Structure 1
């Protein structure tokens, strides 16, 4: 920027001071007139140096869409200037305007007086203005989240999201954050995404957009402890529902550590939450510009949703009804299969009691730890109690659509405490979750499944095994701490509890002891 003429300096100073205080304007106008008449000094532009007013603060739940979305997201075109621009920003390159050859500024008394008056005015305005909120919120013990509204630029190959503030909000400093963009910020294998507000100087060399989008974007990691249904939903899908559902599909996902198997397995959910192509952010070489970017995922707890913290007061029940709708399962007004079938049969005078459909119990048998070691005996006992039995051993490659239909057609979901029980979301309202609770897992059974099942209008029944029904009893004997006093193992830390209660324990169900529980459930279903 070239140096200003004296006349331009007069206008610039007068305009600046006019916006602030009339009393100071009159004084400065007289001062400027004197300067014009008595000096030929060329004044350079003044800029505020206070870095506390440069952040634009978006609301936590901005849901408004900007304009009609494009038919498909714009492609990313490599920009040769991107790396150079980022290098300039990261190395703190100063504004080129301050380095132009031939620019001279006299440090005389008038100069200093004018600069000091302007600084005082700007400082006074900052003190009386509303304090700025940070773009990133690191206060939650579970997750970190950043929300940028305005000129937001995402650069995948650098794992960077930049905010370019409006000209009048730029400052000398540019704060930045390192964000683990998933719902558990203390996971070691989640790599960080850099989120940075550009300073005034950095804004002038910001990487240019290679694609512009009319809808918001969410940057999140598709890794961590995922790989079983509980973590898939608790760590990614439910937090993504909380973060993205209010956009009604008008949002694009920029995914770090994209897992193709995860995308394929949960395609129906992902493509409903976003109508746009999923971007493999790690491999995206362009500069994608959005009106709003969220980095990270909101999370309210283990497999849970707090409606008071969601944009439209979503609940865990809303999530269950939402995914049932996505999978084209019957609406919430349809009863459990047993009652629906017998309601239909009751209108047929030729149907006898023995021809009426039995309630179906879907029995999940785990393939590794915490499996039923006497499965044929258990199956026979369930049938003897009056149930139709369907035994399933879920695996990661199993079609989720097919499994969802199996669950929807069942009245009872039975299994040992473990991740597969998370599929209770596909059951109908008032269906039963029968959780067989192994040694040392009593508190976990209610915390991770029981409370949630009841929140989504399911009936939760727990069967607590006796010590003799655990293979730990067979392996270690009745006097081992894991058998005699499971709490003492928990007090030693996670590793010991994991070894005994999660990894080594299988279940040999005492079908005689178990029979009253089955009869209780059958009576409940028939009522």
Structure 2
């Protein structure tokens, strides 16, 4: 029985061996397939997890940027992460499209690619971060051109195009750059907004480019304007006509004439008397209200703001540095037009009058040339004015004696100057009235002792530039009251050039502030006869 059972078992095993081996092979195949499927699925899961994690990281970085409201450190780091994660996402997508021959090879390829990519990105970041300016430019926009130019020896100038905001309460002008040009830092300048930047008592204006963080909290506009604005100071050496023109009006003309009135003035150190005296010029250069900037409480927004005034020289214009090649002749013509004086083309008054007489006029008496004699009440005055006036009349001139005052009405005074053929006076600010003369009229400058150089550079050169005729009479030392005061051995009397070398203060004290003129009319007489011949030519 046992033997039979054993035989039965043995026989049964032998017959079943073939089908059992085949089943095992199938099971092993299915097992290997399952393992391969598991590994492939695991790798795909890793790739998907990495992709989703990168996307979430980028999203979280952007969220942090929004929450932090633009703080520059967070903003810089966030944008760096955004760039890196964006590149990772692109490369991850490319990897999923590649043909891979084994799970180990795929995993190694993915790790190598990610490692190389991050290494390259980090290298680029380090290269860019090596320079502070490059870092800000790479992460937050392209480099901006400086809005202020401090290179000119006479003046500083700032010019803003775009979102410009003027805040009078603290004398500040802000530039809010476009979002893609904002940097982590905002450069700042403090300048004197007049044509003489070395005058210490001119208050300063702050000009600042806002950083990325500052731009987000910039003060809001209380008014918006479609025209540009110019910020400038009315104080300085003003109240002297020469400085009024040289330091403010000519620089203002250079800076704003090209706008043809479509510009607004924001004035620091506002001077009511200056506005009253030069109102016709100011309101012609700008058709808009003049703003007392120091008292302005709002935030004025303009598409363009200029802070400061361009200036080329004392009472001069360099046409190569002006928008439309303006010259001093253009300025004189402009001033005459502003004051509604006769247009260019009319001759000097006495020639026009005699021309009418020859063409059938009713007058039988020939018109005499008219000479305006400036009477200075202070320094460098004529101490024998009646004697001088009588000599001028005896030479054949009609004389008009005038003492210019600061508060005189320029519209009336300009017509008086225009009616004259000659403007005569001692070297000084009142000769600035030559802007109202007609072409070919004469400026006769009486030059005090030792001031020949100043007479030519401050007036003579510019008179010629404006198509006026310049004549000069230089007095002798005996015609100077310095001779009476100090005697012939004083340095100011004996050698003005040696005095000049000792500095401006001494030069001013003696030659400018303490000198009056006692004109020798006999010696002066030939100059008057030469003047008559010049006018008749």
The question of a shared fold, defined as TM-score above 0.5 by the shorter chain, is answered with yes
TM-score tier by shorter-chain length is 0.7 to 0.9
Q: Is it true that 1:493 corresponds to 2:499 in the alignment?
A: no
User: What is the correspondence of 1:357-396 to structure 2 with a 5 Å cutoff?
Assistant: 357-396=367-406
User: How far apart are 1:350 and its partner, in Å?
Assistant: 6.2
User: What is the correspondence of 1:68-147 to structure 2 with a 5 Å cutoff?
Assistant: 95=71, 98=74, 116=122, 119=125, 132-147=144-159
Larger RCO, structures 1/2 (Cα 8 Å, 6+ apart) = 1
Which structure 1 residue ranges, 5 or more long, are not aligned?
1-30, 48-92, 100-104
User: How far apart are 1:351 and its partner, in Å?
Assistant: 4.7
Q: Is it true that 1:340 corresponds to 2:352 in the alignment?
A: yes
Task: Please give the secondary structure, in 1, of the residue aligned with 2:57.
Answer: coil
Q: Find the counterpart in structure 2 of residue 280 from structure 1.
A: 292
Contact 2:267–2:292, Cα closer than 8 Å, also in 1:
yes
Contact 2:382–2:517, Cα closer than 8 Å, also in 1:
yes
> Cα gap change, 1:468/1:275 in structure 2, threshold over 3 Å: closer, same or farther?
same
> Cα gap change, 1:186/1:94 in structure 2, threshold over 3 Å: closer, same or farther?
farther
User: How far apart are 1:332 and its partner, in Å?
Assistant: 1.1
User: How far apart are 1:113 and its partner, in Å?
Assistant: 6.1
2:233 corresponds, among 221, 225, 243, to 221
Q: Is it true that 1:251 corresponds to 2:266 in the alignment?
A: no
Q: Find the counterpart in structure 1 of residue 280 from structure 2.
A: 268
For 2:290 and 2:218, how far apart are their aligned partners in 1?
A: 25
CA RMSD of aligned residues (A): 2.8
Q: Which has the higher helix share?
A: 2
Q: Find the counterpart in structure 2 of residue 419 from structure 1.
A: 429
> Cα gap change, 1:502/1:249 in structure 2, threshold over 3 Å: closer, same or farther?
same
Contact 2:481–2:515, Cα closer than 8 Å, also in 1:
yes
TM-score (norm 2): 0.78
TM-score (norm 1): 0.79
User: How far apart are 1:488 and its partner, in Å?
Assistant: 1.2
Q: Is it true that 1:319 corresponds to 2:331 in the alignment?
A: yes
For 1:265 and 1:138, how far apart are their aligned partners in 2?
A: 31
Report the number of matched residues. 444
Could you report, residue by residue, the CA deviation over 1:129-181 in whole angstroms, capped at 9, with x for unpaired residues? 98642100000010000000000000001110000000000010100000110
For 2:259 and 2:353, how far apart are their aligned partners in 1?
A: 38
User: How far apart are 1:116 and its partner, in Å?
Assistant: 3.5
User: How far apart are 1:474 and its partner, in Å?
Assistant: 0.8
1:230 corresponds, among 222, 236, 242, to 242
User: How far apart are 1:318 and its partner, in Å?
Assistant: 0.4
Contact 1:439–1:470, Cα closer than 8 Å, also in 2:
yes
For 1:210 and 1:450, how far apart are their aligned partners in 2?
A: 49
User: How far apart are 1:440 and its partner, in Å?
Assistant: 1.4
Q: Find the counterpart in structure 1 of residue 201 from structure 2.
A: 189
Task: Please give the secondary structure, in 1, of the residue aligned with 2:252.
Answer: helix
> Cα gap change, 1:118/1:45 in structure 2, threshold over 3 Å: closer, same or farther?
farther
> Cα gap change, 1:40/1:150 in structure 2, threshold over 3 Å: closer, same or farther?
closer
Moved more, 38-47 or 471-480: 38-47
Could you report, residue by residue, the CA deviation over 1:276-302 in whole angstroms, capped at 9, with x for unpaired residues? 000000000100000000000000010
User: How far apart are 1:115 and its partner, in Å?
Assistant: 7.0
Q: Find the counterpart in structure 2 of residue 152 from structure 1.
A: 164
Contact 2:383–2:516, Cα closer than 8 Å, also in 1:
yes
